[in-house]
Amino acid sequence: MSIKPLRLERGHGIGIIAPAGPVDHSELQPSINLLDSLGYRIIQAPHLYQRQGYLAGSDDSRLEDLHSMFQNEDVKAIFCARGGYGTLRLLDKINYDLISRNPKVIVGYSDITALLLAIYKKTKLVTFHGPVVREVKENENQNLRLFLDLFSAPNSLRLDLKKGEALIPGKARGILLGGNLSLISHLIGTPFMPALRETILFIEERGEALYRIDRMLTHLRLSGLLNGIRGLIMGRFIDCGDISDINDLIMDIVSGLNMPIVSGLPVGHEVQNITVPLGLQATLDTEKMMISVDDSYFR
C-alpha cells in the first residue's frame, strides 16, 4: 500500500534541492519570487548553488541536502531545481528509512525520474512527476498552477489525452508509474527499479535518435519488466525525430503485449509539463481518451 504525503498549503515551507545538475541563483530567482508571492516559505538547501563539473556539488553535499529537507519539520514539500545528471549516483546512499518516517511531497522530472522511482520502490511514498523549479514560470505559470491545483482540488485527477492518439484502443487499470525513458532504462537490474507488473507506464524523452529509443525499449522488453503491464502511455518525445516513426517503433516492439497504447500525455521536455502522481491506482480509457486517478494522493 502506498504512503501518502501531507497536503501542501499556503504558508507551508517548500524546500529546494539540486540533486542532479548545477544551477545559478539567477536561474531560480524568478521562480522563487513567484512561489514566495503565492504565500509559500522558500527554504533553500545549504549546497543548492554548489558546482562540481556537471554536478551540483559532491555526492555527499547533494545527499546531505536531500536528507536535511526530509528531516526539517518546516519543509512540507521538496522541489528539485533542475534535471541534468546526478541522481543515479545518490540512490545507494539514501536513507530510505528517514524518508519513510517523514513522507513529504517531492517533485521533479527528467533525471529526477531515478529519484522518484527509487523512493517509491524503497518506501512506497507517492511521488510527483512534474516541473522543476527553474521551469515553473514556463507555460505562463500554467504548469505551476496545475501542480498547485492538485492540493486545492478534491482528491481526484483527470488527465486529458484528446490531443493524442490511441495506437491500440482499450481500457486498463493499474498503478501509474513512469518518467524519462533513459532513466528507466538505466534503473533496470538495480534494486531501485519498481516492478512494472500491473502498472500503467508512461514514458517521455528528449534528444534521442530513433535507434537509441529502439535500444532502450528493446532493453525494457528483454528485461521482462514489460510483461504484465496493463497499459502504455507516451508523453513528449522532443527532438527525437518524426513522432510517426516513434509510434511505429512502439507498435513494433510492444504491441504484442495485449494492452492499450496511447500517445499525447503532456509531460516531458516541452513548455507544457503537467504534474502526474506516481504510485496510485489509475484508469486509462482510450474511448474517453483520459487517464483518471481516483485514489487520494494525500493523507
Active site residues: 110, 204, 269
Distance CA 34, CA 16 (A): 14
Write down the residue that cell numbers 548553488 correspond to: 49
DSSP structural state of residue 289: T
Cβ proximity of 205 and 214 under 8 Å? no
Here the cell at position 257 is: 503485449
Picking from 107, 80, 75, 63, the residue whose alpha carbon sits closest to that of residue 21 is 80
Residue 39 CB-density burial (10 A; 0-12 exposed, 13-18 middle, 19+ buried)? exposed
**For the CA atoms of the chain, what is the radius of gyration?**
18
Here the cell at position 9 is: 498549503
Contacts 24+ apart (CB under 8 A), 184-190: 184/113, 184/117, 184/216, 184/220, 185/216, 185/219, 185/220, 186/88, 186/114, 187/114, 187/117, 187/118, 188/219, 188/220, 188/223, 188/225, 189/223, 190/91
The DSSP bridge partners found for residue 262 are 166, 233
